[in-house]
Chains A and B, each alone.
Chain A
């Protein structure tokens, strides 16, 4: 079945460690996105990519990094520079230039 797969679903890390969240899609979508959600809040855009080997910062990119070496994959690294990394992270994809995003199930990161 086509869809977006995020892994891991739950992740615990010690403060100061970098962590990488995986996002893979088999929908043949051009655009991919990473959002962050804190309890009781809406989603905030971290990074997005419209084509392979290109990506742009969203509203809260500081402390995060991404790569887009393949169309299907858009991993997110939460670096030690991110001051409050504990959150729910959502990956999405869409056909180019549409607002119909398909979301993964999310990855919940807890930094101890």
Chain B
């Protein structure tokens, strides 16, 4: 799987949008972009994934650039409970062994 690059940490004010970037410049055409988050001492939680088009669900929006070399996870109105480590992962879905490679992620701190 392609590697991803994320900033080690970010701050965000409560109620504002949190925009978390991810670079995946070597992504292949059939690799999806997945986002997970991990609140301290808990198991990771799936957030969203996409291939080419922008995606939105009840938790977040995922914006993927046209060349697919980078993406941004957007939490529209961050709350204190969104403080967590956010992981960006690329993975082939079809015929894959399901090996998600988790890097160190971005530690997002939402401040009052």
Residue of B nearest to A102 (CB): B46
Interface size of B as a range: 20 to 34
Closest approach, in angstroms, between the C-beta of A72 and any C-beta of chain B?
18
Inter-chain contact A99/B32, CB cutoff 8 Å: yes
Interface residue? B58 (CB, 8 A) = no
Considering the chains assembled together, what is the distance between the CA atoms of A43 and B103 in angstroms? 7
A78 located at the interface, meaning its Cβ lies under 8 Å from any Cβ of chain B in the complex: no
Residue total for A at the interface (Cβ-Cβ under 8 A): 29
| Bound CA–CA A68/B34 (angstroms) | 27
With contacts A97-B95, A99-B96 taken as known, whether A41 is within 8 angstroms of B41 at the C-beta atoms is: no
- CB-based nearest B residue for A44: B102
Name A's interface SS: strand
- CB contact list, A91-112 vs B, under 8 A: 92, 94, 97-106, 108
Whether the pair A103, B100 counts as a contact (CB closer than 8 A) is: no
Q: Are A50 and B99 in contact (CB under 8 A)?
A: no
B44–A90 CB distance below 8 A? yes
Give A14 Cβ to nearest chain B Cβ, in Å: 24
CB-based contact B43/A90 at 8 Å = yes
Q: Are B99 and A41 in contact (CB under 8 A)?
A: no
Ordered by A's residue number, 19 sampled pairs between the chains whose C-beta atoms are within 8 Å are: A41-B104, A42-B102, A42-B105, A43-B100, A44-B102, A45-B101, A50-B98, A90-B43, A97-B93, A97-B95, A98-B93, A99-B32, A99-B98, A100-B49, A101-B36, A103-B44, A104-B43, A105-B42, A108-B41
- With A4-B43, A98-B98 known, 13 other A-B pairs at CB within 8 A are A42-B101, A45-B99, A88-B41, A90-B43, A99-B100, A101-B46, A101-B98, A101-B100, A102-B46, A103-B45, A105-B42, A106-B41, A106-B43
Across the A-B interface, give the 7 residue pairs with the lowest CB-CB distance, nearest first.
A103-B43, A42-B102, A43-B102, A99-B91, A42-B103, A99-B34, A100-B46
